[in-house]
Amino acid sequence: MPENTSRMSVIEHLEELRKRLLWSMASYVVAVLLCYSVASELFALLKRPLVDAMKDYPGSTLAIRSLAEGFLVELKVAAIAGVFVASPVIFYQIWKFVAPGLYTQERKLVLPVVLSSTVLFTGGALFGYFVVFPFVFGFFLSFTGGDTSALLSIGDYLSFSAKLLAGFGVIFELPLAIFILAYLGIVDHDKLRRARRYVIVINFAVAAMITPPDVVSQLFLAAPLIVLYEIGILVARVVGRRQKRGRKPDASPTAGE
């Protein structure tokens, strides 16, 4: 049974929310400070796919285009990396806030959901870094040549790469989101299967909104979205079957009863 939250006043709910937000913000601040101490190394790692791609295009280079750009880039790198480092604590605080309104069996999902959210988000970012970055950077640099070379701002590169990493991190959460909705009975695999054609269109629209304005990045984001949606349909099917088995009576009544 869910815990009795109806007796909590609005002030008590707000106080609980404030506590969870403070824990989340504190963990994020600590994570940013830790990441800033290694911001140079983190940015060197982040720009490695571009640096490797530029080796095939002599004359192309990364540059600092303004006086404060170097400092601001390292600060932004620490802020972005802090999200990844603090994400387990943030996800946990979110679940701690909503858990009292859930059934006991649902509250047992807190740890698996927190771990899954972290793993999926990180996995999506790694997919973008190792699979998408080399191809995308090579594709764009292929338009240089002859008397044309690329002089790229480190600030612009950070914004471009951060959007892609965040986009892939978010879309890789799709199977988990579908699992939660299926577990709560909001969707099932039949509804998801019937909505497939509309979801494909929506996937491309979402990819266009959260990626830089180019077709290549949008295709690389939309394709995994479609695959992840199909995985979500399978997840919803498994969840539905287990719930049906759980609703079956343990024993059939006898004829004499």
Contact of 65 with 153, CB cutoff 8 Å: yes
Q: How does DSSP classify residue 186? A: S
pLDDT-derived band at 255 (thresholds 50, 70, 90) equals very low
**Res 248: pLDDT:** 55
Who has greater pLDDT, 150 or 3? Answer: 150
pLDDT of 171 reads: 83
If pLDDT is split at 50, 70 and 90, which confidence band does 45 have?
A: very high
Domain boundaries, the chain: 11-170, 173-246
Nearest CA among 233, 192, 227 for reference residue 207 = 227
Give the residue with greater pLDDT, 14 vs 108.
14
pLDDT at 136 over 70: yes
Residues 158-179 have a mean pLDDT of: 88
Segment 198-236, tens digit of pLDDT: 888 887 777 776 665 667 767 877 788 888 889 989 988
The arithmetic mean of pLDDT across residues 73-91, rounded, is: 89
pLDDT score for 113: 80
Summarize the confidence of residues 119-137 as an average pLDDT: 88
At 256, the pLDDT band (50, 70, 90 cuts) reads very low
Least confident piece of the model among 48-57, 166-175, 198-207: 198-207
SS3 for the chain, per residue? CCCCCCCCCHHHHHHHHHHHHHHHHHHHHHHHHHHHCCHHHHHHHHCHHHHHHHCCCCCCEEECCCCCHHHHHHHHHHHHHHHHHHHHHHHHHHHHHHHHHCCHHHHCCHHHHHHHHHHHHHHHHHHHHHHHHHHHHHHHHCCCECCECCEEEHHHHHHHHHHHHHHHHHHCCHHHHHHHHHHCCCCCHHHHHHCHHHHHHHHHHHHHHHCCCCHHHHHHHHHHHHHHHHHHHHHHHHHHHHHHHHHCCCCCCCCCC
Mean pLDDT of 104-118: 77
